Amino acid sequence: MFGVVPKVLWSRTNPADENNLCTWAMRCLLVELGNRLVLIDNGIGDKQDARFFSHYYLHGEESLEKSLKEKGFTFQDITDNFLTHLHFDHCGGGVRYKNNDSSVLEMTFPQATYWTNEEHWQWATQPNVRERASFLKENILPMQESGQLAYLDLKDKKMMEGLEFFTADGHTDKQMIPKISYKGHTLVFAADLLPSVGHIPLPYVMGYDTRPLITLEEKKQFLEEAARNNYVIFLEHDPIHECCTVKMTEKGVRFDQTFPLNELG
């Protein structure tokens, strides 16, 4: 998760357990925009076998279904599923087994449009050797087969009023990072451009990134813009912190503060 950064440094913010593993979240975001209910990403899902999941030690009591229910919603209420990218931990929850039958797949959100972009779709469905294990066909192809897949325009970079996005290519090709207008703030769902507070220092780049030098430049530009404009950064993978802000200092952009989203005034 921290690439070439030595463990003695990254363990200060993300200590490892006895298996040399760190705890990470797969935090999604639900956005109400007029009569649209937009879910950003959908987690890892539960379709893979025990051997697959044994690599990741999933734990905790939270689930997407439970979290939606707590807010008074069901899978059927989702009108749009905005997918930052199609790695399994971001889109695996969008397709499930029908009636627990592993031979039959169905869309988790039957009324929803699943949004990606055409360039990333091609990247995911014709994967390079490096990312092949992250793009699982059972997570991806049913979106198209169901007729629920749609592409966002990379020139316009706007999904609807109140939700725009920009793209980043360092982690994977044409990852989409949404920007949401909320309570007078700009909320940025950082996805894998900035997985956690521990990734704010520029050299802290994931080994998963296909183009780490591009990530460095993209992250630098994003963090400087976030500091200038006081963006609220929503953290998908940080196990503790939901949101953070950053500030400009004489030494560059640095961490400012963290807080849960529901405390945003």
Mean pLDDT of 66-73: 96
Burial of 19 (0-12, 13-18, 19+ CB in 10 A): exposed
Burial of 29 (0-12, 13-18, 19+ CB in 10 A): middle
Tens of pLDDT, residue by residue over 3-50, are 999 999 999 989 999 988 999 999 999 999 999 999 999 999 998 888
pLDDT at 67: 95
Q: How does DSSP assign 187-215, residue by residue?
A: EEE-TTTS-SGGG-STT---TT-S-HHHH
Q: Cβ distance 221 to 252 under 8 Å?
A: no
pTM of the model: 0.95
Query: Which CATH number does 7-263 carry?
Result: 3.60.15.10
Parallel/antiparallel/unpaired status of strands 113-116 and 80-82: parallel
Mean pLDDT of 201-220: 96
Q: Tokens 């959100």 belong to which residue? A: 109
Domain boundaries of the chain, sorted by first residue:
7-263
265, pLDDT greater than 80: no
